[in-house]
Amino acid sequence: MREGDAPAIRLKGVSKRFGLGNLALADIDLEIAKGEFVFLTGPSGSGKSTLLRLLFCAERPTSGEISVDEMNIGTLSGAQIPLLRRKIGVIFQDFKLLNNYTVFENVALALEVIGLRPDQVKKRVKQVIEGVGLGTKLNRKAVQLSGGEQQRVAIARAVVNRPPIILADEPTGNLDNKRTEEVMLLMEELNARGATILFATHDERLYQNTHRRVVRLEDGKLEAAQ
């Protein structure tokens, strides 16, 4: 197999159990090719967020193997996790913004930690924030934004680093139709530039008319939906 043929994301026999509870994920096999855009759907509680969280080591699988961009996550040491996370932009379901930081600062942090020059940070951060329609709110604190605006900051922060893999957890959950369309276009654009995207949503309208692959979780089990 040529190196380029390796999938961006691969789960093999992956299960996850929290404490003594039921399996949140049961024996998941999933491969996502580099550059693919896949929708992950399923009802509330079916395991979408858990699956995404396993991919950036926020949770560890109970069993099974996971690789991301040819890194075997099961054998990653704590010190190697930042290396993995540099490759992944995560849009969290609950945003995880720093409330008392401004829009600019929330997004800039993601670049400062990788040691980009301040003038480059400024340029890129502004560009991305304008791209999500918040150019006039650069200096507003996150806590002073609406839910939809916070969501767009979270999206800007996830993509500013130009990560090869984007994990989006209900990134349009708080947005109206117009904003949802804008986010979908942004995702298409990022995908066209080469990013692999795994997009979790329970909103059927987002994938009804798509030619993209849709995989569905039902009670922790994976099935192809389309």
Ligand X SMILES: Nc1ncnc2c1ncn2[C@@H]1O[C@H](COP(=O)(O)OP(=O)(O)OP(=O)(O)O)[C@@H](O)[C@H]1O
Q: Note whether 202 binds ligand X by CB under 6 A.
A: yes
Judged by CB under 6 A, does residue 48 bind ligand X? yes
Rounded least distance, CB 53 to ligand X, Å? 7
Q: Does 49 bind Mg ion (CB under 5 A)?
A: yes
Write down the residue that tokens 């304008």 correspond to: 130
Which sign, positive or negative, has the C-alpha torsion 91, 95, 100, 102? positive
CB of 163 vs ligand X, minimal distance in Å: 21
Residues between 79 and 98 with contacts to ligand X, criterion CB under 6 A:
93
Q: Which does 213 bind (CB under 5 to 8 A by kind): ligand X, Mg ion, none?
A: none
Q: Could you tell me how many residues make up the chain?
A: 226
3-state SS class at 14: strand
Per-residue binding string, Mg ion, 62-101, x by CB under 5 A, is -------------------------------x--------
Distance CA 12, CA 166 (A): 20
Examine residue 44 and tell whether it contacts ligand X (CB under 6 A): yes
Q: Toward ligand X, which CB reaches closer, 104 or 207?
A: 207
Which of 49, 106, 174, 196 binds ligand X (CB under 6 A)? It is 49
Could you write out the three-class secondary structure of 45-63? CCCHHHHHHHHCCCCCCCE
Rg (CA), the chain: 17
Please list, residue by residue across 65-100, b when 16 or more beta carbons sit within 10 angstroms of its beta carbon and e when fewer do.
ebbbbeeebeebeeeeeeebbebbbbbbbebebeee
**Of ligand X, Mg ion, none, which one sits near residue 147, judging by CB under 5 to 8 A according to partner kind?**
none
Whether the Cβ atoms of residue 167 and residue 139 lie closer than 8 Å to each other? no
Task: Using CB under 6 A, pick the residue from 9, 14, 24, 187 that binds ligand X.
Answer: 24
With respect to ligand X, which residue has the nearer C-beta, 42 or 171? 42
CB under 5 to 8 A by kind: which of Mg ion, ligand X, none does 61 bind?
A: none
Closest to 170 (Cα-Cα) out of 162, 160, 158: 158
Residue 182, token pair as written in the block: 């804008």
Q: Which of 50, 151, 161, 174 touches ligand X by CB under 6 A?
A: 50
**CB of 129 or CB of 167, closer to Mg ion:** 167
Contact of residue 177 among Mg ion, ligand X, none (CB under 5-8 Å per partner type): none
User: Interhelix angle for 147-159 vs 118-131, to 10°?
Assistant: 130
Query: Can you give the binding site for ligand X, defined by CB under 6 A?
Result: 18, 21, 24, 42, 44-50, 93, 202
Where along the sequence are the contacts to Mg ion (CB under 5 A)?
48-49, 93
